[in-house]
Amino acid sequence: MDSNTTRTRKEAAANANAEDAALWRWFSDLYDQGFIRWCKTDSGWLVSVNHRHVATTVTFDEGIREAKARTQAIEPGANKNRRRTP
């Protein structure tokens, strides 16, 4: 393997790790605040954020990734510094 290929692979791995870390920090923040819910059904995993259904997928991981992508596309930055309302 040449040095360019090795560098490209290392960069790809670092990017994937950073993306995963950001995803699970997002998930943990919403979980701690009670804003994310999920359940397994015959249709797959259903994921809701702030009482809004945002994803139905075959795997839990896909569901969480899709939920993050959809909520950030709808409301960029909406999950930052959010307080739970009664």
Q: What pLDDT, in 10s, does the model give residues 22-71?
A: 999 999 999 999 999 999 999 999 999 999 999 999 999 999 999 999 99
Q: Is residue 81 part of a domain?
A: no
Three-state DSSP at 64 gives: helix
pLDDT at residue number 71 = 94
pLDDT at residue number 84 = 46
Q: Is residue 22 part of a domain?
A: yes
Q: Is the pLDDT of residue 85 over 50?
A: no
Burial 2-27 (b: 16+ CB within 10 A, else e): eeeeeeeeeeeeeeeeeeeeebeebb
Q: Is residue 79 part of a domain?
A: no
Q: Is residue 82 part of a domain?
A: no
Q: Is residue 10 part of a domain?
A: yes
pLDDT at residue number 15 = 86
pLDDT at residue number 81 = 46
Q: Is residue 9 part of a domain?
A: yes
Domain span at 9: 3-74
pTM of the model: 0.75
Q: Is residue 42 part of a domain?
A: yes
Residue 58: phi and psi, rounded to 5, are -70, -40
In the chain, how many domains are there?
A: 1
